[in-house]
A = this chain, B = another copy of it.
Amino acid sequence: MAAAATNPRTPPKPAMRDSLIAAAFQLFLERGYEQTTVDDIVTLAGVGRRSFFRYFPSKEDVVFPDHEQCLDDMTRFLAASADTDDPMVRVCDAARLVMRMYAENPTFSVQRYRLTREVAGLRTYELSVVWRYEKTLGDYLRGRWADRKDGTLRANVAAAAVVAAHNHALRHWLRSGGEGDQLAEVDRALEFVRATWSPDAPAGTGGDAAEGADDVVVVITKRSTPMWRVVREVESSLDES
């Protein structure tokens, strides 16, 4: 909404929004989350209640101030994907945007992680955010695999796997107090998932993939099925591409 934003990807954050976040976290850490009211936050920040609700629909939202922006960035990043990009490489790169958001401010991320462990309502809120990331990745994969017979199932499972791998690495880093190389850990975890469903794509390149021809075919059949029928099934899977 900024009239003259210099960079459309990261609009300048209003100072008032930042001071509300800072005031909220100061109080959450001093008194606890449940014991802090929106009135306490606006008093400390020196602004009115309406200013708070202009930026945050609820007290919970001030705990996770950057996810909406990150979800927007992820959606845009996936929409800008080319047909030649390997879909698994693309969703792994999209997940890295989330890790990068956390890594931008390690102290804040670790404080929030500890707060979220303590307050059940915040954990539930976080689950709904995670679900939105998973849905965003799944929507993209469903589109890319729309021609596949098992496309929807594969997309749903792969999106969940990417989110689980990302969160595995993220939790590891947050538990360590934000120390160490969080990007190396997330690379390792995402590489595990990418290799599972896209074993031949070049890792972490954003999909410069002429070798799509070497895709994997999964055939599920019963032991009692005659061999000629299995062969026919494999052939028709090959034709699908």
Contacts and interface: CB of A to CB of B under 8 A. Distances in A.
Interface in A203-233: 212-225, 227, 230-231
B153 A157 contact: no
Given A163-B160, A164-B160, A241 B223 contact: yes
Contacts of A165: 153, 156-157
A215 B222 contact: yes
A17 interface: no
Contact of A161 (B131, B161, B234): B161
A238 interface: yes
A192 B230 contact: no
Tally of this chain's copies? 2
- Chain A interface, DSSP helix/strand/loop, else mixed: helix
Chain A interface extent, by class? 35 or more
A213 B224 CA distance: 7
Given A124-B124, A157-B165, A218 B195 contact: yes
A39 to B, nearest CB: 24
Contacts of A220: 188, 191-192, 195, 216-219
Interface of A: 123-125, 127-128, 131, 150, 152-154, 156-157, 159-161, 163-165, 167-168, 188-189, 191-193, 195-197, 200, 212-225, 227, 230-231, 234-235, 238, 241
Give 7 closest A-B pairs by Cβ, nearest first: A160-B164, A160-B160, A127-B127, A219-B219, A156-B168, A157-B164, A215-B223
